[in-house]
A and B are shown apart, each in its own frame.
Chain A
Amino acid sequence: DADVTQTPRNRITKTGKRIMLECSQTKGHDRMYWYRQDPGLGLRLIYYSFDVKDINKGEISDGYSVSRQAQAKFSLSLESAIPNQTALYFCATSDAQGAYNEQFFGPGTRLTVL
């Protein structure tokens, strides 16, 4: 079974709709991250959380919100989706104690906003 899972894997929605992307992990890591990937732009950090009570904005947080429901769950919400939020979204986790802080990625959610 995958250590980092994301649901849904694909989603098509309309402008103005509220969307939630979910991430779960079984690695026991404290730290979780949300990124978006756009062609030619690489990965950009949206939000990150170092524990359940710690939420931080990343490089491109406008238009997004997050919820850390438990150590293992970190959800990303688009309150009112717009077409330029069409992208591939990745969740990642890391161990706070790891010497290299390696991040482990989920398989991604492809979101299309029409």
Chain B
Amino acid sequence: GDSVTQMEGPVTLSEEAFLTINCTYTATGYPSLFWYVQYPGEGLQLLLKATKADDKGSNKGFEATYRKETTSFHLEKGSVQVSDSAVYFCALRGGYSTLTFGKGTMLLVSP
């Protein structure tokens, strides 16, 4: 079945540091890929998405590129802020149009 593997957290960074959160997936066919973010006490929000190989999703300074050859969709940001502290979920949408989520990675950014 479909699965998503994310790096374990927490990831602890200082403000303005570079962020990478790794995500790899296993799926049949050609899934769509997503990053969702969950701020403390809130539900999940879509951060960015990509639907085919080599697509780059971007939003709020975050980027991720759909790499079919490495089955990866790593999240990056060049300069994190304290307000980016949250839990980040990588997800894929497979053949049944449901989402399969990774376990989430907590990001903590200190001033």
Q: Does B74 contact A (CB under 8 A)?
A: no
Tell me if A's interface is mostly helix, strand, loop or mixed. Answer: strand
Tell me if B's interface is mostly helix, strand, loop or mixed. Answer: strand
Q: Contacting B101 at CB < 8 Å: which of A42, A94, A100?
A: A42
Known A33-B98, A45-B99; contact A103-B42, beta-carbon cutoff 8 A: no
Q: Does A43 contact B (CB under 8 A)?
A: yes
- The chain B residue sitting closest to A110, CB to CB, is B41
Q: Does A74 contact B (CB under 8 A)?
A: no
**Number of B interface residues, CB 8 Å?**
19
Among B14-22, B45-53, B58-66, B76-84, the stretch that binds chain A is B45-53
Residues of A within 8 A of B51 (CB): 99-100
**Judging by beta carbons under 8 Å apart, are A90 and B104 in contact?**
no
Q: Does B70 contact A (CB under 8 A)?
A: no
Complex Cα distance, B9 from A98, in Å, reads: 32
Residues of A within 8 A of B102 (CB): 42
Complex Cα distance, B35 from A102, in Å, reads: 11
**B residues 22-40 with Cβ under 8 Å of A?**
32, 34
Q: Contacting B46 at CB < 8 Å: which of A41, A44, A48, A103?
A: A103
- The chain A residue sitting closest to B43, CB to CB, is A105
**A residues 33-81 with Cβ under 8 Å of B?**
33, 40-45, 48, 50, 58
On B, residues with C-beta under 8 Å from A are 32, 34, 42-46, 49, 51, 89, 93, 97-104
Leading 4 A-B pairs by shortest Cβ distance: A105-B43, A42-B103, A43-B101, A105-B44
